[in-house]
Structure 1
Amino acid sequence: MTGKLELTFTVVSEYLFVGSGAYEFDPNHNNQRPDVWYTFYRRNGQICVPGTSIKGAIRAIVEAISNSCISQFRRSREKVDKDHEPCRDQNKLCPACRLFGMTGLRGRVHFSDAFPEGQVRPQIVKIGELWEPRNYSGRKFYEVKRVPQLTDKRPQRNFRFVEAMSEGTCFRATLHFENLSEAELGLMAYALGWKTEKGTFDHAFTPKLGGAKPRCFGAVKFDPARLTVWEVQKNGLLQLRMLEGDAVGAKLVRCMEAASRPETGLFHESSWRRLVEGYQEKTDTCPREMY
């Protein structure tokens, strides 16, 4: 199948922060408000979540739930067993590399940039400084907890300020895919946080996007809006199909059921269950400072 899946995603944690690599400076702060803060990513002056940021987050989930190679790690500090070393032979690729590509091989899925719906007003949020992890073993996915509210806006050592989008902000994006099997599209659906429940479509967890994940930012809920596919007919010709509403969910359920069949070698159920359990929302609050 070739086509596109139009999506919306809603911020369900208190904040979402996708850094631009730049910052703003207020020289007249008088120690009563932020003097420097890291800005949210923008394209042509408009708040935006880059498609590459979404792709990286979803690829990490695909790698985990398909038991694929670990594509990103620090060779000087992290150890990866032979079964999970990055793919090098294009004739022997793991499920994630077959979908997302690798050096020298173009991927078959990619995401558009995501723009918010309606007028939005970013907030300047104070968070504890972000430090490099001490433990480098295993894949890292951060729990969904509450963000501590730091109301003091004065500059303070070991804290920083970031420009963030608040809970409830909705973005629109599109997943473009080329030459996927139903099972491969189903694997992508699982990675977007969806599940099948007695033949029906439902949400299983909220993936995390952007930065400040250790500070409990970034949890979002994806929803499918419209599915457009080119399908090969019995006569060999292509036909365009557009699905909306319940028809999209029904199609995704079929794809996810195909992905979960053992013969596909795509879906690693025990890893999926561990990920879903770890991503369930907790009632406790993230630490205010270093942890």
Structure 2
Amino acid sequence: MPRNPNAEPKPFVLVDIPSKTPERKPAAPHEKFAGLTGRLELTVTVVSEYLFVGSGAYEFDPNHGNRRPDVWYTFYRRNDQLCVPGTSLKGAIRAIVEAISNSCVSQMRRPQERTASNAHKPCQWDPKKAVHENRLCPACRLFGTTGYRGRMHFTDFLPQEEIKPKVVKIGELWEPKRFDPTKRRFYERKTFQPLASPAPQQNFRFVEAVQKGTKFQGALLFENVSEAELGLLLHALGRQVEKGQVTIAFAPKLGGAKPRCFGSVEFHPERLRLWGGNIKGLLAPQEVQGNDMLQLLSQYLQACRNEGLLHEPSWTALKEGLKPKNERCPPEVY
């Protein structure tokens, strides 16, 4: 019998950790250009009710009079401008890549968070070996690991226009007490439930968030990746090929308060710049956008599937789990 029979359904998307061992291949060196190097410019649009990316700082209102927020967590800023830092994007997208490519489970923060599969323990880098002699899973080859610099990163994403954030009251956030070592956990896209009273209250907190429809612009930078690897990144950004067209498969989640159903965003490619060598050995840019860009992205997405880099059962489970649901998100402890 559940501990709390009146608790609302947990907004979890559970993706099985495959029984198959991750395919670890030699790490790619950095000393020369090979494969695809370039920049994909992106627009991020908030599609959940709110997005919160914490700064680790607080603001407070000494005159709240117990009628409005007293202390709240602030949104991340760069030079006093609201911003989604590239590191937040990288962490969120890496978690998706690990799940859909059958990679190692890189984050095990607590002793009890151990996978049931010893084969999925974090990749190990041996500094005594040459770069190409170290073998890494697909995610570690792209994003890096201790001792090895990754071949992709995100710039900071800045707002398209002036944003007026809102201080929102949410139920307190607690670490899960139960952990399933056979699955990876993500959060569903449900509807946020606003709370009636804006007054400070035990077991609730306030966060500074941006609202649905807010747009940020930035870029994904990649170096020496294959077409299949770039296709894997595009899948993790929530894109797929459907009836010959590049379409949205799901909205990844960014930032904090995901248990309160914050953070769903859509990534929209705007322009692709690729760098290639010419007859003098110099790098020259090729810039594409519109239909020409979408044709290339479709090619990369298909290459990912053709080369078996996408783990189809995990991709299907995550795609279905992250589809929007016409259900309320639990406002309190669940």
Match of 1:143 in 2: 188
The Cα shift of 1:265 comes to 4.1
- Classify 1:47/1:189 alpha carbon distance in 2 versus 1 (closer, same or farther; 3 Å): same
TM-score by length of 1: 0.96
Matches within 5 A, 1:152-191: 152-191=197-236
Alpha-carbon distance in structure 2 between the residues aligned to 1:151 and 1:120:
24
Match of 2:66 in 1: 31
Task: Quote the sequence identity (%).
Answer: 60
Match of 1:118 in 2: 161
Alignment of 1:57 onto 2:109:
no
The Cα shift of 1:285 comes to 0.6
Please identify, of 131-140 and 278-287, the stretch whose mean Cα deviation from structure 2 is larger.
131-140
TM-score by length of 2: 0.84
Question: Would the aligned equivalents of 2:156 and 2:218 in 1 still touch at CA under 8 Å?
Answer: yes
Match of 1:13 in 2: 48
Matches within 5 A, 1:213-232: 213-232=258-277
Deviations 1:115-155 (A, max 9, x none): 11111100000000001112222211000000001131100
Please identify, of 230-239 and 171-180, the stretch whose mean Cα deviation from structure 2 is larger.
230-239
Q: Secondary structure of the residue that 1:161 maps to in structure 2?
A: strand
Q: Structure 1 counterpart of 2:145, which letter? A: M
Q: What is the aligned counterpart of 1:107 among 143, 146, 150? A: 150
Alignment of 1:266 onto 2:302:
no
Please identify, of 47-56 and 151-160, the stretch whose mean Cα deviation from structure 2 is larger.
151-160
Alignment of 1:209 onto 2:254:
yes
Q: Structure 2 counterpart of 1:76, which letter? A: P
The Cα shift of 1:22 comes to 0.7
Q: Structure 1 counterpart of 2:155, which letter? A: S
The Cα shift of 1:232 comes to 4.4
Q: Secondary structure of the residue that 1:147 maps to in structure 2?
A: coil
Matches within 5 A, 1:235-274: 238-261=283-306, 264-274=307-317
Alpha-carbon distance in structure 2 between the residues aligned to 1:290 and 1:17:
19
The Cα shift of 1:199 comes to 1.7
Q: What is the aligned counterpart of 2:326 among 283, 286, 289? A: 283
Alpha-carbon distance in structure 1 between the residues aligned to 2:331 and 2:225:
44
Match of 1:84 in 2: 120
Q: Which runs of 4+ in 1 moved over 4 A?
A: 232-238
Alignment of 1:194 onto 2:229:
no
The Cα shift of 1:230 comes to 1.1
- Cα RMSD, aligned residues only: 1.4
Alpha-carbon distance in structure 2 between the residues aligned to 1:248 and 1:140:
33
Q: Structure 1 counterpart of 2:231, which letter? A: G
Please identify, of 229-238 and 271-280, the stretch whose mean Cα deviation from structure 2 is larger.
229-238
Alpha-carbon distance in structure 2 between the residues aligned to 1:74 and 1:18:
20
Deviations 1:98-126 (A, max 9, x none): 00000010000000001111111000000
Q: Secondary structure of the residue that 1:260 maps to in structure 2?
A: helix
The Cα shift of 1:89 comes to 3.8
Q: Secondary structure of the residue that 1:139 maps to in structure 2?
A: strand
Alpha-carbon distance in structure 2 between the residues aligned to 1:201 and 1:236:
33
The Cα shift of 1:204 comes to 0.2
Alpha-carbon distance in structure 2 between the residues aligned to 1:104 and 1:200:
39
Alpha-carbon distance in structure 1 between the residues aligned to 2:144 and 2:188:
28
Q: Secondary structure of the residue that 2:206 maps to in structure 1?
A: strand
